[in-house]
Amino acid sequence: MSKHDKQEMIVRHKLFDRICHWFIVAVGLVTFLTGFSIFFPSFQWMGAIAGTPQLARFIHPIAGLMMCLPLMLLLARYYHHNKWEKNDLKWMLAIKDVMFENEEGIPPIGHYNPGQKVLFRTFVVTSIVLTVTGIMMWQPYFAPYFSGVVVGWAILLHAICALIMMIFVIVHFWMATWVEGSVAGMLYGKVSKAWCRKHHPLMLDEHSDVEKKH
Q: Distance between CA 151 and CA 149 in Å, rounded?
A: 5
- Sequence-distant (6+) residues with CB within 8 A of 109 are 85, 87, 88, 91, 200, 201, 202
Residue 9: strand pairing partners: 192
Interface characters, 29-68, with ligand HEM (x: CB under 6 A):
----------------------------------------
> What stretches of the chain show up as alpha helix (H) in DSSP?
3-7, 15-39, 53-78, 88-93, 95-99, 114-136, 148-178, 182-188, 193-199, 201-213
Which listed residue (23, 49, 97, 116) binds ligand HEM by CB under 6 A? 116
Closest CA to 107 of 122, 81, 85: 85
Residue 158 annotated to the active site: no
The rounded distance, in Å, linking the Cα atoms of 202 and 112 is: 10
**From 158, 172, 199, 207, active-site residue:** 172
Distance CA 91, CA 89 (A): 5
Q: Of the two residues 136 and 169, which places its CB atom closer to ligand HEM in the complex?
A: 169
Residue 2 Cβ vs ligand HEM, minimum distance, rounded to whole Å? 22
Q: Is 75 in the site for ligand HEM (CB under 6 A)?
A: yes
Residue 182 in contact with ligand HEM, rule: CB under 6 A: yes
Q: State which H helix or E strand residue 9 sits in.
A: strand 9-11
Least separation in angstroms between residue 3's CB and ligand HEM is 23
Of 95-103, 131-139, 147-155, 177-185, the segment contacting ligand HEM by CB under 6 A is 177-185
| CB contact at 8 A, 108 and 202 | yes
- Is 164 among the residues that bind ligand HEM (CB under 6 A)? no
Q: Closest distance between ligand HEM and the C-beta of residue 168, in Å?
A: 8
Residue of this chain nearest to ligand HEM (CB atom): 78
Residues marked as catalytic: 172
Interacting residues with ligand HEM (CB under 6 A): 12, 21, 24-25, 28, 71, 74-75, 78, 81-82, 112, 116, 120, 123, 169, 172-173, 176, 182-183, 185-186
